[in-house]
Each structure stands twice: as structure tokens, then as C-alpha cells.
Amino acid sequence: MPSVCFYFQVHQPYRLREFRFFDIGVDNDYEDVEKNRAVMQKVAAKCYLPMNALMLELIKRHQGRFRISFSMTGSFIEQCLEYAPEVLESFKKLADTGCVEFLDETDNHSLSFIFSEDEFRAQVARHRKRMEELFGQKPRAFRNTELVYSNSIARIAEDMGYDVVLAEGVDSILDWRTPDFVYHPEGCGRIKLMMKNHKLSDDIAFRFSDHSWEHYPLMAETFAGWLKGMKGGSDVINLFMDYETFGEHQWADTGIFDFMRALPDFVLADPDFDFLTVSEAADRYPARGWIDVPYYTSWADAERDISAWIRNDMQKDAFRALYECQFLAARVDDSELLEDWQRLQCSDHFYYMCTKSAADGNVHKYFSPYKAPADAYVNFMNVLADFRIRLLAKVGQ
């Protein structure tokens, strides 16, 4: 019986306000509160609230046979509490159905694993505590920021007690294999690995509204037919994507909500198919071998590596300067400073500094609040300079 596993990432970053050189040492108000509020409330109205209502409708209509998984960042949760508490309540209603699983990740949507295992473990522990307090779940599954993955990340996730870890189904890694089975990570003993089917996931997340695409307009019956065509050659079809795909990246007038409303009907019409959460799929299906990922992969850009965040000199310099603050941050007992330290680690700040061109460059520009990558770098470094001054002053007290 092949299963379909929908996993959605839910994230909103805290955007920095324009922070000039002359603000350094004078003003420690770093975030653009009005922009953060406006974006959160806009996406809540376009995506989170209607999509959560649809997910609840589908769960009830199919009497629990429709099942989904989410992971959400700490910055998303905090902005819900500040600007759109009704969104968090709608997620709690989904949790109450028993058909929704919440995964763990880095609380601050950071790339901390690359720079500091201690910081990484602390952020994941903080996120686990959030999930228990908000939804009454102790997550069994882990996904790293932007699906950044390697053997070493799997080993740490196993050590932290997780049963399954997620990764991108990178073609060069899989070689002749398919992402549509459960695997074991190389070098691990117990933990399982589930990999995104990027072809089918991106058909929904990126190509759905592309008028030049040969399959436009994509109908739910067509997509379900593609899934059913995989019967016999798959155990679990992993459809991983940003939740903001629905209503924000793909607007409602593209038909994306109608597509999602109809899809479970066509899938479940075949009694050989069902929907599972991430952990349920890992429990049901045996590992079909070992996957070796000796270097970092991700779900971003054509390269599916970490070059979206760590490629050019601006990004490398910004990361270096940021994590030079770690030792000082560990020595302070100041909730405001520590909150700033955590939020400054958000990977979005470095994504905005990316200088790629062509299709990937257009995606970066779409998400960036800056006119150019250099503006993102200068602004971030001005903020970081002020933050470092405050850290030094506190340590010197």
C-alpha cells in the first residue's frame, strides 16, 4: 500500500529595519515592527487561516484518513502571538484532531549546526519545549533548517532521540535509487531517513501556476494519476513544501486551494493508497538500504546545497562576525540580548545577501526586502556592530 506524506514548513522571519552606520551605539531597536506585522497579517489572511480551515475540513470529511505533518519556526510562533493569535489557535485545532504531527527543527531557523553544535542542540531543545507546550506533542521527527542535511546531522538527531530525519532527495546522492522509500542514514544505527520527492513537490510548489509548463493547468485528478502510476515502485511519496505555497506563493486565483481540496478524494478513491504523517510512515515502512550524504544538501536552488546562504564573501564575512559573538553571548544573563542573539541567527538574513542570477536569483529577489544583496549585508553588519557593543558592555559590567 503506497502512502502519501504531506509535510509543510511554516516560517516567517523577523525583518530588520533600515539600520544606518550612525545608529550604531545609539539605537538598539533592530526590527521593522510594522513590516513584520503587515506581512504576518497578510499571509495569515491569504494562507494560514484559509489553508488551516481547508486542512480541518479534509480531515473531518475523510474521517481521519487525511493526515499531514508540519514544522514551524520559533519566529513564526512568536509573530503569531504578537500579530495573529487566531492563526496559532487554528493550528491547535488541527493538533486536536490527532491527524497532525509537528516536527522539531532549530527554533531560530538558523544554520547553527554548521558553526556550533552546542548552539544547534540548544535551539532544537528550545523548539521541542515549544511543541510540547503548544500542541502537547513531543516530536519524534526532525527536519533541519531549509532541509540542510548530512550524515553528521543525522547522527546528532539520532543522539537527541529522534526516530526519523528529513532530507532533500538530491538526484546525485540517490543515483539510481528513488526518494520514495524509507532509508537509514550512513553511520547511524536506529534513526530513519525520509527524502523529498522534489519533482512532484515542486510541481505543486513552483510549477503550478506556470502557464508555459506542459502540464498547466494541473488538475487534482491528473496529479493523483501520477501518484497511482508509482504503485509497485514506492512505499511512501514524500511531498515536502513551504506552507506559504498555498495562497501566498500560489495565489488563490490560480486554483491552488481547489486543487488541494480535491486531491485527497482522488487519492483515497484507490483503496491501495493512504495518507500518513512522517513518523507514521517511518514506523510502517522498513528501511530499504543506507544513504550516504557526506556533504551538506538542502532543498534550495538548483544546486540543492548551502550556497544560497554561504557562497559569496559577504555571506561568509557575516557568518564569521555573527558566530564570533557566541562566546560573549554565552557569558551574559540578559533576556533582551539573548533574544537578539537568537533572532540574528535566522538564515533569511544571509539568504538576502545571495548574489545568484537567473531563476534562482529571481527567487531570492522575490523574498528579499532589500533592493540589492549588498544592502542586506551592510544593514546586517551595522546591526551586528551595535549588538556586539552591547554584548561587550554587558560582559564588562
Structural domain including 331 reads 313-395
Domain tally, the chain: 2
- Confidence tier at 370 by pLDDT (50, 70, 90): very high
Question: What's the CA gap between 148 and 155, in Å, rounded?
Answer: 14
Residue that terminates a domain, selected from 236, 261, 291:
291
Q: Are residues 285 and 321 in the same domain?
A: no
Q: Are residues 249 and 369 in the same domain?
A: no
Q: Are residues 283 and 321 in the same domain?
A: no
Q: Are residues 102 and 144 in the same domain?
A: yes
Please write the tens of the pLDDT for every residue from 227-259: 999 999 999 999 999 999 999 999 999 999 999
What proportion of the chain, given as a percentage, has pLDDT over 70?
100
Q: Please give the pLDDT value at position 60.
A: 98
Q: Mean pLDDT over residues 312-323, rounded?
A: 98
Q: Please give the pLDDT value at position 397.
A: 60
Q: Are residues 232 and 332 in the same domain?
A: no
Please write the tens of the pLDDT for every residue from 283-314: 999 999 999 999 999 999 999 999 999 999 99
- Confidence tier at 359 by pLDDT (50, 70, 90): confident
Q: Is residue 237 part of a domain?
A: yes
Q: How distant, in Å, are the alpha carbons of 1, 66, 86, 218, 222 from that of 262?
A: 21, 12, 26, 12, 11
Q: Mean pLDDT over residues 317-346, rounded?
A: 96
- Confidence tier at 366 by pLDDT (50, 70, 90): confident
- Confidence tier at 192 by pLDDT (50, 70, 90): very high
Q: Please give the pLDDT value at position 259.
A: 98
Q: Is residue 306 part of a domain?
A: no
Quote the radius of gyration of the chain (alpha carbons, Å).
Answer: 21
Please write the tens of the pLDDT for every residue from 256-291: 999 999 999 999 999 999 999 999 999 999 999 999
SS3 labels along 189-220: CCCEEEEECHHHHHHHHCCCCCCCCCCCCCCH
CB atoms within 10 A of CB 140: 19
Question: What's the CA gap between 278 and 99, in Å, rounded?
Answer: 11
Please write the tens of the pLDDT for every residue from 117-157: 999 999 999 999 999 999 999 999 999 999 999 999 999 99
Q: Please give the pLDDT value at position 36.
A: 98
Q: What is the CATH number of the domain that holds 287?
A: 3.20.110.20
Report, as residue numbers or ranges, the catalytic residues. 146
Q: Are residues 82 and 169 in the same domain?
A: yes
- Confidence tier at 224 by pLDDT (50, 70, 90): very high
Q: Are residues 283 and 322 in the same domain?
A: no
Q: Are residues 59 and 181 in the same domain?
A: yes
Q: Are residues 338 and 283 in the same domain?
A: no
Q: Are residues 278 and 338 in the same domain?
A: no
Q: Is residue 90 part of a domain?
A: yes
Q: How distant, in Å, are the alpha carbons of 9, 51, 73, 100, 140 from that of 103?
A: 9, 19, 10, 10, 7
pTM of the complete model: 0.96
